Amino acid sequence: MFRNLFIKKTLSELETEAENQNSLRRHLTAMNLVLLGIGCVIGAGIFVLTGSAAALYAGPAVSISFAISAVGCMFAGLCYAEFASMIPISGSAYTYAYATMGEFIAWIIGWDLILEYLFGSATVAVGWSGYVVSLLEYFNIHIPASISQSPFIFDTNGWHSSGAIINFPAMFIVGIMTTLLVIGIKESAKLNNIIVIIKVAVILLFIGFGISYIDVKNWEPFIPENTGTFGQFGWSGILTAAGVIFFAYIGFDAVSTASQEAVNPKRDMPIGILVSLAVCTVLYIAVSLILTGIVNYKELNVSAPIAVAIDKFGTELWWLSPIIKIGAIAGLSSVVLVLLMGQSRIFYIMAHDGLLWKRFAKVHPKYKTPHVTTIVTGLFSASFAGLFPIGLLGELVSIGTLLAFVIVSIGIIILRKSEPNAPRGFRTPWVPLVPIMGTVICLAEMASLPLDTWIRLLAWMVIGFVIYFTYGIKHSKARQARKNLNQ
C-alpha cells in the first residue's frame, strides 16, 4: 500500500482531465480573473491585518513588511503563472505538485491549502463583522459585544476569555456567500466585479483624503526598537509582520484554483495572477503608510483599523466615514466569496482524484457547481469565524500560504528538468534564480512566525496524514490506474 508514494500525474493526463472531465462551466475571462484576484487580495490585508501587524510586530514599518512580502509573492507569482499556463485544471498548487513531485507531496500541499482557504475565509469574516458593527454604531444601532465578538482573545499575553458568546455577523456573511457560490460561478463573478470597483474607489478616497491628516509624529520612530523578544518590533518584527500579512496576498493563488472555469486558461491565468498582484502591491504600501500616519500604531490592534483611522477625520469629513466603511464591508464580502470558492474547488479536485470522499466530487445538476464541498466549507468556515479571534486565524493562513508558495517555486525547477519541451503559455524568467529566491524569502518568513503557529500547522498536518493513509492512499485514482496498467 505504501509503494509509489510519489506517483505522478503526467501533463497529458491533466490535459485530458481538463478537456474531457470538466463538468464545471467556463465563464471567466481574463478581466474576470484579474478582478477575482484583486477582489481577494484587496480586503484581507488593507482592511483587516494591517493594523494588528503594525501594533504587534512592526509599527509604522509595516509598509516595509508589505514590500518584503510583495517581493516574495512576485517570485512565487511568476512560478504560479507558468504552471497555470501549462495545467488548465482546478487545484492550484495541489495540482502542480501532483505533476512534479508526486501524490504524497500533492496531498501535503492540498491539505495545507485547505488550511489556507478555510481559515482565510474565517479571518476575513471576523474583519467584516468589525466593520459592520462600526458602521451600525454610526447610525446609532448597537450590536451587543456578546454576539459580535469572539469568545476568546489571543494576543502577546496568550489566551483570554472575552466574555462574548459568538461572533454572529461573521457567521452570517459566510452563510450568504456560501449560498451565492452554490447558485453559480457566473453570478458570483458578476457580484465580485461590482464589489471590486466599489472598494478600489473607496481605497483611493481614503488615500486621497487621508494624506492631509497624516501626523508625521506617528511615524517616529518608523522602526520601533525591539523589545528584546524576536519578532516584537525592530527588523525581526518587520520580518515577522511580513510573514503574518503574507495572507494578504492569497488572492493570486485563489485565481489559480479557477482554471477549470476560465474561458482561455493558458492565456488568461498568467494575466489574472500577475496583474492583480501588481495592482494590489501598490495599494497596500500606500494604505499602510497613510494608516500609520493618521493613527499611532499602538492603537491599531483591532479588527477594523481603517474604521479607527476614518474616525480621526473628525466632523469635517463626516460624509466620508460611512462611504469608506460600506466600501470596506463590500470589499471584505468579496474576499470571503473568493476564499470560499478556492476552498471548495480544492476539496472538489482532491475528491475527484479519489484522495477525499467521492461525495465531495459531486456537481449540482442545475447550477453546475461543486455544491457539497461548498456547503461543507461554509459550515466549517462559519464555525471558525464565530469562535476564534482574528490574530490566531490570520497567522495560520499565512504559514499555509507560505508553504504553498515554497512548493510551487521548487516545482518549477523540477518541471523544467522533467518536462523541458512541454508547451508553455508563459515562462518564468531567470530559472532557477527566480524560484530559488521565492523559496528562500518564503522560508525566511515562515521561520519568523511564532512557534505556536508552527505547532498548529504540524497538528493540522498530522490530521491530514491520518486521512491520507487510512483513506486517500486506498482510493487514489492515479494509483488505481497504474495498477490496472501493470496487470
Q: pLDDT, tens digit, for every residue of 165-202?
A: 899 999 999 999 898 888 865 556 677 678 788 888 88
Say what percent of the chain tops pLDDT 90: 21
Cell of 426: 508563459
Mean pLDDT of the chain: 82
Give pLDDT, residue 139. 84
pLDDT confidence band for 484 (50 / 70 / 90): confident
The string over 451-468, giving b where at least 16 C-beta atoms fall within 10 Å of a residue's C-beta and e elsewhere, is: eebeebbeebeeebeeeb
What does pTM read for this prediction? 0.78
Cβ-based neighbour number of residue 144 at 10 Å: 11
Give pLDDT, residue 344. 83
Residue 344 Cα distances to 350, 387, 461, angstroms:
10, 21, 19
Dist CA 98 CA 95 (whole Å): 5
Could you report the per-residue pLDDT of 380-410, keeping only the tens digit for each? 999 988 988 766 666 777 788 788 888 889 9
Give pLDDT, residue 296. 93
Helix (H) or strand (E) holding 359: none
Dist CA 328 CA 324 (whole Å): 6
Dist CA 58 CA 239 (whole Å): 8
Most confidently modeled range among 43-47, 64-68, 479-483: 64-68
Q: Which of 464, 81, 51, 481 is nearest to 268 (CA)?
A: 81
More confident residue, 388 or 486: 388
The string over 244-270, giving b where at least 16 C-beta atoms fall within 10 Å of a residue's C-beta and e elsewhere, is: bbbbbbbbbbbbbbbbbbbeebbebbb
Cell of 355: 484522495
Q: Which of 55, 46, 57, 37 is nearest to 196 (CA)?
A: 37
Dist CA 67 CA 62 (whole Å): 9
More confident residue, 236 or 47: 236
* pLDDT reading at 21 higher than 60: no
Dist CA 332 CA 42 (whole Å): 8
Helix (H) or strand (E) holding 444: helix 433-448
Peptide bond into 389 cis (omega under 30): no
- Looking at domain 11-486, what is its CATH homologous superfamily? Amino acid/polyamine transporter I (1.20.1740.10)
Q: Where are the domains of the chain?
A: 11-486
Dist CA 453 CA 326 (whole Å): 32
Cα–Cα–Cα angle for 224, 229, 232, nearest 5°?
40
| Helix, strand, or coil (residue 440) | helix
Task: Determine the average pLDDT of the residues in 249-265.
Answer: 68
Q: Which of 216, 194, 263, 227 is nearest to 30 (CA)?
A: 263
Task: Determine the average pLDDT of the residues in 461-476.
Answer: 93
The answer to whether 117 and 349 are in contact (CB under 8 A) is no
The answer to whether 95 and 87 are in contact (CB under 8 A) is yes
* pLDDT reading at 23 higher than 60: no
